[in-house]
Amino acid sequence: MTQIAISHAGSTKRVAKRKIFWNLLNLARQRRSLARLDDHLLDDIGLTRREANVEATRHIWDAPDNWVKQLY
């Protein structure tokens, strides 16, 4: 009987790349949502309007170090 080994390395890499892509899009969505919060809600989470705007204008590849492990 002959056995054939099939490698799924290519599909695994595609899945990983897709996951990174969706996580980065989610990060951008979260930053846009942060920018839309009113000052009362920002105060509840301990941020100023300026801090929220700085975070909201960051590029999607500019993720905080503690997020990078979760994104990738």
Q: Average pLDDT of each block of 10 consecutive residues along the chain (72 residues)?
A: 60 82 89 95 96 92 70 53
Q: Give residue 7's identity as a one-letter amino acid code.
A: S
Examine residue 5 and state whether it is found in any structural domain, yes or no.
Answer: no
Is the distance from CB of 34 to CB of 55 less than 8 angstroms? yes
Examine residue 16 and state whether it is found in any structural domain, yes or no.
Answer: yes
Examine residue 18 and state whether it is found in any structural domain, yes or no.
Answer: yes
Examine residue 42 and state whether it is found in any structural domain, yes or no.
Answer: yes
Examine residue 43 and state whether it is found in any structural domain, yes or no.
Answer: yes
- The whole-number pLDDT of residue 69 equals 61
Examine residue 50 and state whether it is found in any structural domain, yes or no.
Answer: yes
Examine residue 1 and state whether it is found in any structural domain, yes or no.
Answer: no
Task: Domain count for the chain, please give it.
Answer: 1
Q: What predicted TM-score, i.e. pTM, was given to this entire model?
A: 0.67
- The whole-number pLDDT of residue 53 equals 95
Task: State how far the Cα of 42 lies from the Cα of 23, in Å rounded to an integer.
Answer: 23
Three-state secondary-structure class, residue 63: coil
Examine residue 6 and state whether it is found in any structural domain, yes or no.
Answer: no
